[in-house]
Amino acid sequence: MLSKAKFTNVANTMPRYFFHVREGSSFHRDEEGQELPDAEAARQEAVNTSREMLGEKLLHGGPLNHRTIEIADETGHVVDEINSRDVLFHKGVFRSYSDDVTQSAPKNDPSR
């Protein structure tokens, strides 16, 4: 078991990633960022965020395309980009995901 001091030290060594959103001609810079273990974890976070944003667009209207999430490291270097088109399609076919990123949505319980 890690002592509290060791756990705090481990948490402080994780890199911080920033998720800047580019939609059409507008650009929204993430000033806070998020500590994640590596670039792959940051990529998965960006994919999940993009899926949530697409869901909001479906519910409330708006274009589903033309959005890119730029993943930048602490130095400002863009390490990856997630385009809404790539989240929706793979080789021209709609993607399906086995997980549900809308965990906060109310669940219908027919037994009530």
User: CB of 76 within 8 A of CB of 31?
Assistant: no
Mean pLDDT of 36-45: 95
Quick: pLDDT tens for 62-111.
777 789 999 999 999 999 999 998 888 888 888 888 776 655 555 555 56
Kindly list the distances between the CA atom of residue 27 and the CA atoms of 51, 54, 58, 66, 69, in Å, as whole numbers in the listed order: 18, 17, 21, 12, 10
Largest CA distance in the chain: 52
Question: What average pLDDT does this structure show over 25-38?
Answer: 95
Distance CA 54, CA 56 (A): 5
Would you call 87 helix, strand, or coil by DSSP? helix
In percent, how much of the chain has pLDDT > 70? 78
Confidence of residue 50 (pLDDT cuts 50, 70, 90): very high
